[in-house]
A and B are shown apart, each in its own frame.
Chain A
């Protein structure tokens, strides 16, 4: 019998107050896992079970083919992540988890922007691409496709700029992250 068992209706404020501690910052979790089927589902399931939204997620091989690296970002302002991190540790196929501190971490993300580029706007878009150290990877008479690499803030900034010209579509890979300095992430 779930709580509370009384017939008093629950107010929405009470429901809101009943959630756990939040850190208030973005968390970049770098998770080293065994390269086995189902691992991603197990990890995603721990977040889904609590109703947490994973903001970005990347999975890729590492220098050792037995292992893969999962990098995911979660908003600690919305979700209490301490407990979920402990649960992640318990998964048999998970070897290591780092909750990376932004200051000690290099993060990169790749994004593709397809922008409407009529004749008069084209040169301005190319200039901004230059400023953001992006690259034009495809072009037609009425559009350009630009590749930008950087941390999420830089990509957000480029998005704001090109939106004014007419953003046809955008795709982002999600962040990968590596700790600074000599030691392994």
Chain B
């Protein structure tokens, strides 16, 4: 069969039921194979949309997402999704077309050095040099993308090689001598961690996206409740621990709760699980958690002691390690009373500093209220996909996620334009769930073309644009740190999002009244098909609380 038909067989063998992509010259053979391969193909309107859709699909389902693009501009349009998937450890396989081998390096039409351009932002990549390499490369790509610390893998296939006739044999064994992720944690280290937890008087569990990726949420709850450990999650970890749980402190970091940040600041032991001490978590590194010893559980050894030196490093998969840690901890039968003072302190912070904002006294919709209304209208059960900016932080604060993979956003790279296509991918992967996209009026315009894809493919995402007419987060920083000099952040009332939605064949709505907002959102969600609601919110509202850049957690403002 043709090599491209072998590609289809490989995709099916990997359990791929949908791919996102856009055809072009160099991947014409691949698209010919899709014609009757029996794999669902979602035709996106821009390759970046396809890349983010594959990410959204992967984040919602835990399966490997697949995105395709042609050579040159098609591949370069994938650069942002690839970088995004790398930063947030999202398993996606990107298959790009390349010019014919005889044209390589000659500035051929639509030629770009896809391998070279993407090299620093991939977990791994394959440049196919012989058609017979293709099946093995595809299986290796899926294996690498989904195992260990997940991430993006690029396969670049020159057009002529993809047309070659090859004898296809299924590849059943994938073994990579240089790639052996450590899954089981070191038992001795785990025992030491259990001992440290048992003697800690002010412990905090700090969990990140690794808990979601390894499917360790149940184990995390298990560990937390094997005593009364307070738990906080990073932006990427939300949903990994129920946001309604009594031991929940709220998110930590730059826009986290005071309870979470103060607890980190005063903790004597911090147990980090699948988190990487990002600068948005630590604030001023030299003053981060100054009294704490650190247990650091991560599948990626390069994360251990990268930013904060770990006293008890444990390299391994969070689920495996937490299971063992719970068993070790229970065997110690520590005295739960020792945490009483610590909880009294935490409860006082919680009572004194809940998340709050000044609500309007008229019909005006405060952006925070929009998130609360969405939470109420969906009974807290929707999959919520956000874009990047103030709305993202408010959603993280006010929508209390209770299950993993319920919250999808671009954390590490902070990619505006992520929301709509990722929501589209999430809905495709999880069709029975209500999928709501919360976007800013700035972000949505970076990939609004995917509304066409949603309508054509009948992908019923419900988009809520938190419209304040500003690039809000930048405006907030200019207000707070740059003397109110608002430079290039005012977006006015352009475009008319209702008309835009209608032009694409979606339902366009506009909400301006607080009083009916919950009902309006319910009605929007009940409306069949793709819905875009332009929600007019307070123009200048700041995201608080906040650890100012370069400041320590205890000096939070707002």
Question: What distance in Å separates the Cβ of A32 from its nearest Cβ neighbour in chain B?
Answer: 9
Interface string of A75-118 (1 = CB under 8 A from B): 00000000100110111111100000000000000000000000
Partner among A6, A45, A95 whose Cβ is within 8 Å of the Cβ of B177: A95
Question: When the two chains form their complex, are residues A6 and B550 in contact, meaning their CB atoms are under 8 A apart?
Answer: yes
Partner among B129, B176, B301, B482 whose Cβ is within 8 Å of the Cβ of A89: B301
Partner among A4, A5, A34 whose Cβ is within 8 Å of the Cβ of B178: A34
Q: How far is it, in angstroms, between the C-alpha of A111 and the C-alpha of B549 when the chains are bound?
A: 51
Question: When the two chains form their complex, are residues A92 and B124 in contact, meaning their CB atoms are under 8 A apart?
Answer: yes
Residues in B436-475 with C-beta less than 8 Å from chain A: 473-474
Interface string of B105-135 (1 = CB under 8 A from A): 0000000000110011001110101000000
Question: What distance in Å separates the Cβ of A46 from its nearest Cβ neighbour in chain B?
Answer: 8
Q: How far is it, in angstroms, between the C-alpha of A42 and the C-alpha of B301 when the chains are bound?
A: 19
A7 within 8 Å of B (CB atoms): yes
Question: When the two chains form their complex, are residues A92 and B302 in contact, meaning their CB atoms are under 8 A apart?
Answer: no
Q: How far is it, in angstroms, between the C-alpha of A33 and the C-alpha of B178 when the chains are bound?
A: 8
Chain A's closest residue to B279 (CB) is: A3
Q: Give the chain B neighbours of A94 by CB distance below 8 A.
A: 178
Q: Give the chain B neighbours of A7 by CB distance below 8 A.
A: 481-483
Q: Give the chain A neighbours of B115 by CB distance below 8 A.
A: 38
Q: How far is it, in angstroms, between the C-alpha of A91 and the C-alpha of B125 when the chains are bound?
A: 10
B144 within 8 Å of A (CB atoms): yes
Question: When the two chains form their complex, are residues B302 and A41 in contact, meaning their CB atoms are under 8 A apart?
Answer: no
Question: When the two chains form their complex, are residues B302 and A87 in contact, meaning their CB atoms are under 8 A apart?
Answer: yes
Q: Give the chain B neighbours of A91 by CB distance below 8 A.
A: 124, 178
Interface string of A1-38 (1 = CB under 8 A from B): 10111110000000000000000000000000110011
Question: When the two chains form their complex, are residues A3 and B550 in contact, meaning their CB atoms are under 8 A apart?
Answer: yes
Chain B's closest residue to A96 (CB) is: B178
Question: When the two chains form their complex, are residues A86 and B124 in contact, meaning their CB atoms are under 8 A apart?
Answer: no
A182 within 8 Å of B (CB atoms): no
Chain B's closest residue to A88 (CB) is: B302
User: Quick one: given A1-B473, A5-B549, are A83 and B178 in contact (CB under 8 Å)?
Assistant: no
Q: Give the chain B neighbours of A3 by CB distance below 8 A.
A: 279, 549-550
Query: Interface size of B by Cβ–Cβ distance < 8 Å?
Result: 28
Question: When the two chains form their complex, are residues B302 and A89 in contact, meaning their CB atoms are under 8 A apart?
Answer: yes
Question: When the two chains form their complex, are residues A45 and B550 in contact, meaning their CB atoms are under 8 A apart?
Answer: no
Q: Give the chain B neighbours of A45 by CB distance below 8 A.
A: 119-120
B477 within 8 Å of A (CB atoms): yes
A49 within 8 Å of B (CB atoms): yes
Question: In terms of DSSP, what is the predominant structure of the interface of chain A?
Answer: mixed
User: Quick one: given A49-B120, A87-B302, are A6 and B178 in contact (CB under 8 Å)?
Assistant: no
User: Quick one: given A38-B127, A45-B119, are A6 and B302 in contact (CB under 8 Å)?
Assistant: no
Question: What distance in Å separates the Cβ of B268 from its nearest Cβ neighbour in chain A?
Answer: 25
Question: When the two chains form their complex, are residues A4 and B483 in contact, meaning their CB atoms are under 8 A apart?
Answer: no
Residues in B501-548 with C-beta less than 8 Å from chain A: 548
Q: Give the chain A neighbours of B119 by CB distance below 8 A.
A: 38, 41-42, 45
User: Quick one: given A37-B127, A45-B119, A95-B177, are A83 and B306 in contact (CB under 8 Å)?
Assistant: yes
Q: How far is it, in angstroms, between the C-alpha of A90 and the C-alpha of B299 when the chains are bound?
A: 11
B179 within 8 Å of A (CB atoms): yes
Question: What distance in Å separates the Cβ of A139 from its nearest Cβ neighbour in chain B?
Answer: 41
Question: What distance in Å separates the Cβ of B20 from its nearest Cβ neighbour in chain A?
Answer: 25
Q: Give the chain B neighbours of A4 by CB distance below 8 A.
A: 549-550
Q: Give the chain A neighbours of B482 by CB distance below 8 A.
A: 6-7
User: Quick one: given A92-B144, A95-B177, are A83 and B302 in contact (CB under 8 Å)?
Assistant: yes
Question: When the two chains form their complex, are residues B477 and A5 in contact, meaning their CB atoms are under 8 A apart?
Answer: yes
Question: What distance in Å separates the Cβ of A122 from its nearest Cβ neighbour in chain B?
Answer: 47
Q: Give the chain B neighbours of A49 by CB distance below 8 A.
A: 120
Question: When the two chains form their complex, are residues B302 and A37 in contact, meaning their CB atoms are under 8 A apart?
Answer: no
Q: How far is it, in angstroms, between the C-alpha of A42 and the C-alpha of B32 when the chains are bound?
A: 33
Question: What distance in Å separates the Cβ of A81 from its nearest Cβ neighbour in chain B?
Answer: 13
Q: How far is it, in angstroms, between the C-alpha of A41 and the C-alpha of B176 when the chains are bound?
A: 19
B300 within 8 Å of A (CB atoms): yes
Chain B's closest residue to A5 (CB) is: B549
Partner among B120, B179, B477 whose Cβ is within 8 Å of the Cβ of A92: B179
Question: What distance in Å separates the Cβ of A93 from its nearest Cβ neighbour in chain B?
Answer: 5
Q: Give the chain B neighbours of A42 by CB distance below 8 A.
A: 119
Chain A's closest residue to B302 (CB) is: A86
Q: Give the chain B neighbours of A93 by CB distance below 8 A.
A: 178
User: Quick one: given A6-B549, A6-B550, A92-B144, are A41 and B116 in contact (CB under 8 Å)?
Assistant: yes
Question: What distance in Å separates the Cβ of A47 from its nearest Cβ neighbour in chain B?
Answer: 11
Question: What distance in Å separates the Cβ of A45 from its nearest Cβ neighbour in chain B?
Answer: 5
Q: How far is it, in angstroms, between the C-alpha of A34 and the C-alpha of B178 when the chains are bound?
A: 8
Question: When the two chains form their complex, are residues A92 and B306 in contact, meaning their CB atoms are under 8 A apart?
Answer: no
Question: What distance in Å separates the Cβ of B96 from its nearest Cβ neighbour in chain A?
Answer: 15
Question: What distance in Å separates the Cβ of A106 from its nearest Cβ neighbour in chain B?
Answer: 26
Chain B's closest residue to A91 (CB) is: B178
User: Quick one: given A4-B550, A38-B127, A41-B116, are A95 and B178 in contact (CB under 8 Å)?
Assistant: yes
Q: How far is it, in angstroms, between the C-alpha of A5 and the C-alpha of B481 when the chains are bound?
A: 7
Residues in B278-317 with C-beta less than 8 Å from chain A: 279, 300-302, 306
Question: What distance in Å separates the Cβ of A96 from its nearest Cβ neighbour in chain B?
Answer: 8
Question: When the two chains form their complex, are residues A90 and B300 in contact, meaning their CB atoms are under 8 A apart?
Answer: yes
Question: What distance in Å separates the Cβ of A144 from its nearest Cβ neighbour in chain B?
Answer: 40
Q: Give the chain B neighbours of A87 by CB distance below 8 A.
A: 302
Partner among A6, A34, A37, A41 whose Cβ is within 8 Å of the Cβ of B481: A6
Question: What distance in Å separates the Cβ of B552 from its nearest Cβ neighbour in chain A?
Answer: 13
Q: Give the chain B neighbours of A41 by CB distance below 8 A.
A: 116, 119
Q: Give the chain A neighbours of B123 by CB distance below 8 A.
A: 92
Question: When the two chains form their complex, are residues A86 and B178 in contact, meaning their CB atoms are under 8 A apart?
Answer: no
Q: Give the chain A neighbours of B474 by CB distance below 8 A.
A: 1
Question: When the two chains form their complex, are residues B301 and A86 in contact, meaning their CB atoms are under 8 A apart?
Answer: yes
Q: How far is it, in angstroms, between the C-alpha of A59 and the C-alpha of B548 when the chains are bound?
A: 47
Candidate in A38, A90, A91 with the most chain B CB atoms within 10 angstroms = A90
Question: What distance in Å separates the Cβ of B528 from its nearest Cβ neighbour in chain A?
Answer: 39
Q: How far is it, in angstroms, between the C-alpha of A45 and the C-alpha of B125 when the chains are bound?
A: 14
User: Quick one: given A7-B483, A45-B120, are A92 and B176 in contact (CB under 8 Å)?
Assistant: yes
Give 10 nearest A-B pairs by CB, closest first.
Answer: A86-B302, A5-B549, A4-B550, A92-B124, A6-B481, A95-B178, A92-B179, A4-B549, A7-B482, A5-B481
Known: A6-B481, A42-B119, A94-B178. 4 other contacts (CB 8 A): A4-B550, A6-B550, A86-B302, A86-B306
Question: What are 15 A-to-B residue pairs whose CB atoms are below 8 Å?
Answer: A1-B477, A3-B279, A4-B550, A6-B482, A6-B548, A7-B481, A34-B178, A37-B127, A38-B125, A86-B306, A87-B302, A89-B301, A92-B124, A92-B179, A95-B178
State the A residues within 8 Å of B (CB): 1, 3-7, 33-34, 37-38, 41-42, 45, 49, 83, 86-87, 89-95
